[in-house]
Structure 1
Amino acid sequence: MTAIEFNHKLQYLIPALEPFAYKLTKDTANAKDLIQETMLKAFSNKEKFMVGTNMKAWVFTIMRNTFLTNYQKNARQKTFIDTSDNLHFINSTSTKQENKAMGQFAMDDIQTAIENLDDTYSEPFMMYFRGFKYHEISDRLNIPIGTVKNRIFLARKELKEVLAVYADRY
């Protein structure tokens, strides 16, 4: 196969590569870069392509391997080595220092919110929280099982509204 024929077949595959590149990168600009890098590698390694085999599969494999190589390289660049006596690998983007004060504030707010629930909602909710099944709660409180489910649902809904400030933290 001549270089011109190879190049023509390679160019014909670009529309098929675009969705796959976008699926891998989840970004249009990065997908275009990946396609360009894939085409460059395919053309520079055209002598490795065996005529009579599936060119599309060959190019898709190049793209996948290129993406994985770049992803691993980026992951390594975001990691640094701690040169202290412990010699840990630490991911520099996810380290943060926290004390238990925020957790204690949250627990206090949760306890207050539960205490402020109406007894008709808090009692079935707390029984369910402690591990009772719906039918057990129904038997102990002498109310229908549908009422138990409804009260637990309403208690959760009210707690969710009251504790909305913690939605992004936990």
Structure 2
Amino acid sequence: MTNQEFTQELNKLERLLFSFALRLTSNRADAEDLMQETSLRAYRHKEKFAKGTNFKSWVSTIMRNAYINRYRKMKTRRHINNSIENYSYALENTNTVPNQGEHDLRLQELKKMLNSVGDLYSVPFLMFHRGYEYKEIAEKLNIPIGTVKSRIFLARQRMKKMIGQRYQN
């Protein structure tokens, strides 16, 4: 395929390829960049195009692969180049002394909330929290597994409601 034939074929497909690029990127500027990259790659490898095959499919595959490569590259860059807000912990004052007071107060508050739920619900909830399985809790408390599950669920719901009310006040 000569340079002129290649350019003609590519120009015929320009609108179709741009709509495909726009569908992939969902952004006009990125779609234009993808179009340019696809054109360059296709031109660079035009000798690999076999006459008699579908040119549109060949160029569309190049575009799709270019998009996938770019997406993968941007995905890894996002993890490497995080914004400064993600590193704000480094700017915090390190001269403070750790204090368990706030943690202890929250724990006392949670224990009060759990006690207000009642033993009927708090016992299975605490056993589950400590690592017991539903079947073990049911055997120890001599109740059906379904009852264990519903009591744990209701304990969670009541605790969530109390915690939510705490933050509304």
TM over 0.5: yes
Q: Distance in 1 between matches of 2:77 and 2:143?
A: 61
Which has the higher mean CA deviation after the structures are superposed, 44-53 or 140-149? 44-53
C-alpha displacement of 1:142: 2.9
Equivalent position of 1:32 in the other structure: 28
What stretches of structure 1 of length at least 5 have no aligned partner?
A: 23-30, 80-90
Find runs of 4+ consecutive structure 1 residues off by over 6 angstroms: 98-101
AA in 1 matched with 2:37: K
Which has the higher mean CA deviation after the structures are superposed, 97-106 or 13-22? 97-106
- Give the number of the structure whose alpha-carbon radius of gyration is greater: 2
Q: Using a 3 Å threshold, how does the CA distance of structure 1 residues 71 and 100 change in structure 2: closer, same or farther? A: farther
C-alpha displacement of 1:163: 2.2
C-alpha displacement of 1:33: 1.7
Q: What secondary structure is seen at the aligned counterpart in 1 of 2:88?
A: coil
Q: Distance in 2 between matches of 1:34 and 1:116?
A: 57
Q: What secondary structure is seen at the aligned counterpart in 2 of 1:131?
A: coil
Q: Distance in 1 between matches of 2:37 and 2:19?
A: 17
Q: Using a 3 Å threshold, how does the CA distance of structure 1 residues 56 and 121 change in structure 2: closer, same or farther? A: same
Equivalent position of 2:95 in the other structure: none
C-alpha RMSD of matched pairs (Å): 3.3
Q: What secondary structure is seen at the aligned counterpart in 1 of 2:87?
A: coil
**CA offsets 1:115-155 (integer angstroms, 9 cap, x no match):** 22111111121122222232332233233332222211110
C-alpha displacement of 1:64: 3.0
Q: Between the two structures, name the one with larger relative contact order (CA 8 Å, sep ≥ 6).
A: 2
C-alpha displacement of 1:162: 1.8
Q: Distance in 2 between matches of 1:103 and 1:165?
A: 19
Q: What secondary structure is seen at the aligned counterpart in 2 of 1:4?
A: helix
Q: How many residues align?
A: 147
Equivalent position of 2:117 in the other structure: 117
Percent identity between the aligned chains?
22
AA in 1 matched with 2:28: K
Q: Using a 3 Å threshold, how does the CA distance of structure 1 residues 2 and 92 change in structure 2: closer, same or farther? A: same
Equivalent position of 1:47 in the other structure: 43
What stretches of structure 2 of length at least 5 have no aligned partner?
A: 93-97
C-alpha displacement of 1:66: 3.7
**CA offsets 1:75-129 (integer angstroms, 9 cap, x no match):** 66x45xxxxxxxxxxx623123486666555433322221221111111211222
Select which of 4, 10, 14 maps to 2:14. Answer: 10
Instruction: Answer whether contact 1:113 1:162 (CA < 8 A) is retained.
Output: yes
Q: Distance in 2 between matches of 1:140 and 1:108?
A: 27
Select which of 58, 61, 85 maps to 2:62. Answer: 58
